[in-house]
Amino acid sequence: MAVEVTMPKFGLTMREGTIQRFFKAQGDRVNAGEPLYEVETEKVLYQVEAPASGTLAIAMFDEGATVECGTAIAVIAEAGEDVATVAARYSKSAPAHRASPATSPPATNQTAAVNPSQTAAPNASGRDRKTVSPVARKLASELGVDLDKIEGSGPGGRITREDVERAAKSAPAPSAGSAPSADRVAFRGVRKVIAERMHQSLRSSAQITITAEADVTPATELRARRSREFDFSYTDMMIHSVARALMRHPRMNARLNESGNDTEIVLCANANVGIAVALDEGLIVPVVNRAESKPLREIAVESRALGEKARAGQLKLEDVTGGTFTISNLGMFGIDAFTPILNPGETGILGVGRIVEKPAVYRGEIAKRAMLWLSLTFDHRVLDGAPAAQFLQSVIELFNYGA
C-alpha cells in the first residue's frame, strides 16, 4: 500500500515548513530511514527521512513551496505496486501548478530520473534545455542571474540553488562608467522567519524592558581565578547564573498558555536557557537544557559545542527547541545596552552588554570598577515590574558570587 510522506510538526509553534530540496527524484528507489527531502522550519534546516522503502511515485509540491504541517508532501509506492498507477491516483490531488507525473517518461536509471519539481530553461537559441529547480529559478530572477550562463552541478546537469548563488558571487562588478544601481536582497528564508517571529512577539505579548548597571568586578576576579582550571566565557557564567535565578523566580521561567477561552500560566520545571548566536544569514538560538542542574564547566563545554554547530549549520532540531528563557549578548560588539525582543512563548530575555572598567563609587570612595549594563525584557501579562527587578538582582548576585 502506498505510503504518504507528510510535512512533520517539529514543535508547538510550527505551522508550516518550506521544502528546500528533494534528495530523490520521481522513479528513484527509496530506503526507509534515508533522507528524502529537506525542509526549512522557523528554527533549522531539517532532513526528513523516508518512512518506508519503495519507489518515489510522486512529489506533491515543488521545491520552494511552503506547506502546512500534516499535508502530504510525497508518496512512496511499496514493493509490488504499480508506480505509474499510484502517481496517477495522487496527481489528481496535487497542487494545480504541478505537472502530472503520469505524463512524464519513465526513468531508465537513477541518474536520468527527473524530479517533477524540475523545470526546463531553454538557452537563447532554444537548444540544450536545462533542468532548473524552482528555488534556483526564483533566486536567479531575484539576483538577476542569467540561467543560460550557468553549468548545473546537480544530477543530469540540473541547476541548483548553490549554482545560482555561486554565479551571483562571481558576477563581474559594474563598469566605472555604468550608472550605479541599488543592491537588492531577497526577503526570504531565515531572515523572513526572524522578521515574522519578532513581529508576532511584539503583537502577541505585553513587553517591557528594565535596565540595571551592575558592578561585576567580583565576577571578573572570579573568572580570572577559575580560568586557570578550565576555559569559559562571561556568557557561560551568565547562563549558569540565569538558570539558578530562574529556579528562585519561577514566574520568569513560565509560559502563558492560551487555549480557546482558557488561559493559564505554566511554570516550567527546568531552566532551558537559549543563547542567541549571530550567523551571516540571521539569528539562531541553541538551547542549554536543564542548565540549572549543570556546573559551570559542563555549561562551558556544551555552549561552545552548540556555538560551533550553529556556525557550521549542523544544529539539530533538539538543539533549538524547548527553550524557556533566552540570553542575547552583544558585549563583544562594543554595545552597552539594548532592548531585546522576546522569543515567542517565553516570558523573559536578557540583553547583556559589554563589561567596561570605569570610575564608580565603591564603599564610599571612587574606584576603578568593572561595570555591566543588563536589559531584561519580560511579558507584563505574566509578572510585574517588582518581581522582574528581583529576578535581575538575583542574576547579578549569582553572576558575581556563584550559586
The pLDDT, as a whole number, for residue 217 is 97
How many angstroms from the chain centroid is the CA of residue 224? 34
CATH fold of 118-169 reads Dihydrolipoamide Transferase (4.10.320)
When mean pLDDT is compared across 201-215, 253-267, 284-298, 378-392, the lowest value belongs to 253-267
**1-113: CATH class:** mainly beta
The pLDDT, as a whole number, for residue 134 is 59
User: Residue 14: is its pLDDT beyond 90?
Assistant: no
The pLDDT, as a whole number, for residue 123 is 41
Q: Of residues 118 and 218, which shows the higher confidence score? A: 218
- Please give the radius of gyration of the chain, using alpha carbons only, rounded to the nearest integer: 26
Q: What is the DSSP string of 67-127?
A: EETT-EEEEEEPTTS-HHHHHHHHHTTS-TTSPPGGGSPPPSSTTT---TT-EEE--TTS-
pLDDT digits (tens, 9 = 90+) for 236-250: 999 999 999 999 999
Q: What's the CA dihedral at 183, 186, 187, 190 to 10 degrees?
A: -120
Confidence of residue 391 (pLDDT cuts 50, 70, 90): very high
DSSP for residue 50:
P
pLDDT digits (tens, 9 = 90+) for 329-381: 999 999 999 999 998 889 999 999 999 999 999 999 999 999 999 999 999 99
The pLDDT, as a whole number, for residue 356 is 97
When mean pLDDT is compared over 154-168, 171-185, 214-228, 274-288, the highest value belongs to 214-228
Confidence of residue 132 (pLDDT cuts 50, 70, 90): confident
Confidence of residue 178 (pLDDT cuts 50, 70, 90): low
Confidence of residue 11 (pLDDT cuts 50, 70, 90): low
As a whole-number percent, the residues of the chain with pLDDT over 70 amount to 81
Record the pTM. Answer: 0.67
Candidates 3.60.40.10, 3.30.559.10, 3.20.20.70, 3.40.190.10; CATH matching 191-401: 3.30.559.10
Do the strands 254-259 and 262-267 form a parallel or antiparallel pair, or are they unpaired? antiparallel
Asked whether the beta carbons of 339 and 353 are under 8 A apart, the reply is no
The pLDDT, as a whole number, for residue 142 is 72
Domains of the chain, residue spans: 1-113, 118-169, 191-401
Please identify which residue in the block is written with the cell numbers 515567542: 344
Mean pLDDT of 278-303: 90
The pLDDT, as a whole number, for residue 168 is 83
As a whole-number percent, the residues of the chain with pLDDT over 90 amount to 41
- HSE-up of residue 228 (Cα within 13 Å, Cβ side): 4
118-169 and 191-401 have identical folds: no
Note if 384 is an active site residue: yes
Closest CA to 242 of 283, 299, 298: 299
The pLDDT, as a whole number, for residue 151 is 84
Average pLDDT over the chain, rounded to whole? 82
The pLDDT, as a whole number, for residue 121 is 43
Phi, psi dihedral angles at 73 (to 5 degrees): -100, -40
Q: What is the DSSP string of 232-297?
A: --HHHHHHHHHHHHHHH-GGGGEEEEEETTEEEEEEPSS--EEE-EEETTEEE--EETTGGGS-HH
CA distance 63 to 66: 9
When mean pLDDT is compared over 83-87, 147-151, 249-253, the highest value belongs to 249-253
User: Residue 106: is its pLDDT beyond 50?
Assistant: no
Asked whether the beta carbons of 350 and 375 are under 8 A apart, the reply is yes
Which helix H or strand E contains 149, and what residues bound it? none
Q: Of residues 318 and 385, which shows the higher confidence score? A: 385
The pLDDT, as a whole number, for residue 108 is 37
Mean pLDDT of 92-113: 43
Confidence of residue 174 (pLDDT cuts 50, 70, 90): low
Q: Which of 82, 128, 148, 384 is catalytic?
A: 384
User: Residue 83: is its pLDDT beyond 90?
Assistant: no
Mean pLDDT of 93-109: 44
User: Residue 256: is its pLDDT beyond 80?
Assistant: yes
Q: What is the DSSP string of 317-372?
A: HHHHS--SEEEEE-GGGT-------PPTT-SEEEEEEEEEEEEEEETTEEEEEEEE
Task: Name every residue whose Cβ is closer than 8 Å to that of residue 254 and which is 6 or more positions away in sequence.
Answer: 265, 266, 267, 268, 324, 347, 382, 383
The pLDDT, as a whole number, for residue 252 is 97
